[in-house]
Amino acid sequence: MKNEKIIPATVNHRMNWFQKFLLVCSGGNIHILRKTPSEWNKFAGIGGIILFTAVFATLSAGYAMFTVFDDLWISVGFAVLWGLMIFNLDRYIVSSIKKTGTWWNQILMAIPRLILAAFLGIIISKPLELKIFEKEVNKQLNTIIQRNKTQLQAEMNGRILQQSGPFETEKKQIQSQIADYQKAYDSATVELEKEILGKQSGLTSGKEGFGPNAKRKSELKEQRRIDLENYQKQMQPRLEYLDKEISKVYNNIETERNKTETFEDRFNGFAARLQALDELGKNSAIIGVAATFIMGLFICLEISPVLVKLISSVGPYDYLLDKTENDFRLYAKEKMEKGNAGTNFRIEDFKENLGK
C-alpha cells in the first residue's frame, strides 16, 4: 500500500512540451512516464539521440537522392520519408528492449538490435562522408573519368583494327601491286632515256639516238604504262569500296565513342562517388582513417540508445511497465478462463436438456 501512495504523488510533477516531445521520441509509454519523473532525464536523452539520428538520416538521404535525381523537391520528399522511417525504426528498437528478466536474456534481446542499429549507422554515414569529402571526391571523379576515357579509346582502337583490318590488308595489297607496276614503268622510262642519250649500262647499247634498242625500250615503256593504267582502272572500284567500308567502321565507332564519352562526362552519380571515395581511402591513409572515424561516429550514435537502455539499471518505469503488461496478461487470462467456464457450462446444460 505504501508504494501505491508514492506513485500517485509523482503525478504533481509537470513536464514542458519539449520534455514531452523527447519522451515521445524515446519510444517510452508516455502515460507511464508521467508517473515516473525520475526517469524523464534518461528517456529524454534517449529521445534526443533518436531525434538527431533521424535528422542526420534525413540530411544523408537528401544528399544521396540529389546526386541521383538532381531534383530538389524529389530529394526533399524522399529525405523526409527516409528520416521518418529511421526515426520510427529507432523508436521501435529501443522500446522493444525490456529491462525485466535476466541479464543474459537482455543481452540476447539486444544483439540483433545492435546489429541492425550498426547497419543503419553505416547507411546513414556514407552519404554524409561523400558530402564532407566532396572536393576530394570531385577531383577523384575527374581522374576516374579521364582513366575511363583512356580505356575507352584503347578499346575503340582495338575494335577499329579488328573490324577494318581485312579491308586495310586488301587495300595495302592492291596499293603494293600498283606500286610494283609504277616501279616497273619508272624503270622502263629510265632505261629508255639512257638508251637515247647513249649511256652505257648492262641493259643499254651505249649508242646515242633513237635506234632499234631505243624503239624496243619505248615499246616496253608503253606496255608497262598500259599495264599500270589497266590495273589502276580495274582496281579503282575495289579501292573505293574498301575506303567506303573503312570509313564506315571509323564513323560507327566514332559515333559510339562520342555517345559513351557523353555518359562518361556525366559519371558523377551516387555509385560513382562511392567508387571515388573508396579509391581515395585506398590512396590516402588520412582520408581512409577519417572516413572510418566518421562511420564509427555514426555507428556509435545509432547504437547508443540501445546501449543506454541496456546498461541502465532497472527503474520505476520498467517496474510499472512490467506491472501494466502483467495486469493485461492476467486480465486476458481471466477473461479466457471465464469464457471457457461459461462455454463448458452451456455445453453441460445442453447435454442435460438433451438427455431429458
Task: Return the higher-pLDDT residue of 350 and 51.
Answer: 51
Residue with cell 504533481: 12
Residue with cell 525485466: 100
CA 37, CA 12: separation in Å to the nearest integer? Answer: 10
Which pLDDT tens digit goes with each residue over 12-38?
Answer: 467 788 888 998 888 888 888 888 888
Residue with cell 633513237: 210
Task: Return the higher-pLDDT residue of 300 and 311.
Answer: 300
The pLDDT score that the predictor gives to residue 81 is: 92
Which pLDDT tens digit goes with each residue over 162-174?
Answer: 887 888 888 889 8
User: How many CB atoms neighbour CB 190 within 10 A?
Assistant: 15
Specify burial of residue 173 (Cβ count, 10 A radius: 0-12, 13-18, 19+): exposed
Q: Tell me, what DSSP letter sits at residue 70?
A: -
Alpha helices in the chain (DSSP H): 2-9, 17-25, 30-33, 40-69, 72-95, 103-132, 134-197, 212-265, 270-283, 285-311, 316-355
Four-CA torsion 69, 71, 76, 78, nearest 10 degrees: -30
**Confidence at 80, pLDDT banded by 50, 70, 90:** very high
The pLDDT score that the predictor gives to residue 207 is: 63
Which pLDDT tens digit goes with each residue over 220-272?
Answer: 888 888 888 888 888 888 888 888 888 888 888 888 777 776 666 566 677 78
Dihedral-angle region of residue 79 (phi above 0 means left; psi in -120 to 50 means alpha; beta otherwise) = alpha
Is the pLDDT score of 309 beyond 80?
Answer: no
Contact 144, 276 (CB under 8 A): yes
CA 78, CA 61: separation in Å to the nearest integer? Answer: 7
Is the pLDDT score of 200 beyond 70?
Answer: no
Is the pLDDT score of 132 beyond 50?
Answer: yes
What are the backbone angles phi and psi of residue 30, rounded to the nearest 5°?
Answer: -65, -30
Domains of the chain: 2-133+295-341 (no CATH), 140-271 (1.10.287)
In angstroms and rounded to an integer, the radius of gyration of the C-alpha atoms of the chain is 45
The pLDDT score that the predictor gives to residue 94 is: 83
